[in-house]
Chain A
């Protein structure tokens, strides 16, 4: 590749070729932009079962027919979960009386410090906004519930006068004694603050529920908690509190719960859908090619380069976009009008190096075992790290789940001695 110089005049502004392409490829771009630009390639079936409808169709159907259903969407990072949620949200809009609330909790609260009750509080505030937006003047009771909800959600500062209590009296000393019961609760009891927030939410939602409204809550963001126990805490409190309210919930869950031996997802939720990290078989996927072509790849590279990027993405949509974007940037830096083989290769190597970072001896041992013998122990914590970080990808074919080293990583992985 050529050297940059700081003041080379250009006869032709190559940015005009690459900027629109890069805009359409940004893997961290706004999803609204993707739908507005018609960049989403719809799947024609469930990625795990070709005889089943696409996930968003299944979710929307259940939400419309069985109010109060709780559904979970689980999948690896970058597998397209948020896109499926957005498609579900869009589809649910086909009924004008449906109230569909899409929430990315990161927009409302710091997810690293989130507390149970946060989902209920967010939903309550969004429902209140909805009421005002559609011109339904909230009652005094709803206004009061909303004010209290906001105070509970965001806290408040008050000034109190300090009284002089004189000498400190410790009072009678108490110790806690727990007497275990004979029944082990399937799910823990609701916490006091969750119960309070639930009542406030129901006060706000009451007129909608009395009108038999179809309310669907689409909750995104909690998959970023990664740790299954942190997610589970929310499900056992906030989602459990929604049970029986006829409000439907669709929530995105972290991948590790799919491999949880306690089968929490399957036990708790009425419907669970799983998107494998790899959206499609990268070897012969028309789907992956379509994703690139919809973004204008055919104008900038040949079929051979498109196939190479699709293959080395491993079928992971975010990686496919990252590869195409990197290849375009390399071509731009080389002052080329088209993306060539060397640019695609450099992009693949760079992605492989990204996956190479942080691999220790144990990780490499597992990768070798997977490559050589096809064995991958999902119960092993190191193996799960590899899955979460997408260094190992899960595939699904013919009703069978199997694993493979990410092809970009496989390309740069040092061969075992």
Chain B
């Protein structure tokens, strides 16, 4: 596996906070499949604590590619959405890729996937790949406690 910068939900949200409200950003977060539910919960909690915002959490298997604008509508004070790519949905990835400018205008967009799906996304979506703020290997907070960054 490629050695991407490592992050925890706490550190990730700290980056969002440092960039400031209204700063558009889009991260691809790669997690072990077994950690995904915990990462989802931790990111949601950190967004609430550090940004004082409510994270909109979506999954690829529930999202309709033709209704992308509903998922990424900007109606929050500090807009943040976590889209978990729980399975490979080529039509959704194509929709995000073609409309990536619209998606990135939303605010903070966090795409969460395991290594296999992340690789497929990056290969199939060159516009998305180009506009990612960063790719991070993310693990639940306790996994990195005490380790250097």
Contacts and interface: CB of A to CB of B under 8 A. Distances in A.
Interface stretch (B8-16, B31-39, B79-87): B8-16
Most A CB within 10 A of own CB, among B3, B10, B146: B3
A231 to B, nearest CB: 12
A224 interface: yes
A357 B2 contact: yes
Nearest to A363: B123
B130 A77 contact: yes
A333 B149 contact: yes
A26 interface: yes
A28 B109 CA distance: 12
Contacts of B65: 112
A58 interface: no
A77 B66 CA distance: 24
A357 B98 contact: no
Contacts of B119: 357-358
Contacts of A390: 126, 130
A26 B133 CA distance: 8
Contacts of B10: 4, 6
Chain B interface residue bracket vs A: 35 or more
Contacts of A111: 98-99
B53 interface: no
Given A112-B94, A226-B126, A389-B126, A357 B135 contact: yes
Most B CB within 10 A of own CB, among A29, A78, A224: A224
Contacts of B130: 77-78, 318, 390
Contact of B97 (A78, A224, A332): A224
Interface in B43-70: 65-66, 68-69
A16 B15 CA distance: 14
Given A107-B102, A112-B95, A350-B4, A357 B24 contact: no
B131 A221 contact: no
Interface residues of A, number: 45
B129 A23 contact: no
A42 B20 CA distance: 29
Nearest to A356: B2
29 contacts: A4-B14, A6-B10, A19-B20, A26-B24, A28-B25, A28-B131, A29-B23, A104-B101, A106-B98, A106-B102, A110-B69, A112-B65, A113-B95, A224-B97, A225-B98, A226-B97, A226-B127, A318-B131, A325-B133, A326-B134, A353-B4, A354-B135, A357-B2, A357-B118, A357-B119, A358-B120, A389-B129, A390-B126, A390-B130
Given A1-B149, A110-B95, A226-B97, 13 more contacts: A1-B148, A22-B19, A23-B23, A26-B23, A28-B101, A112-B94, A113-B95, A221-B101, A224-B99, A224-B101, A226-B127, A353-B2, A390-B126
Interface of B: 2-5, 10-11, 14-15, 18-20, 23-26, 65-66, 68-69, 91, 94-95, 97-102, 104-105, 118-120, 122-123, 126-127, 129-135, 146-149
Give the top 9 A-B pairs by smallest Cβ distance, nearest first. A358-B123, A111-B98, A112-B98, A112-B95, A77-B130, A1-B149, A28-B104, A357-B122, A78-B130
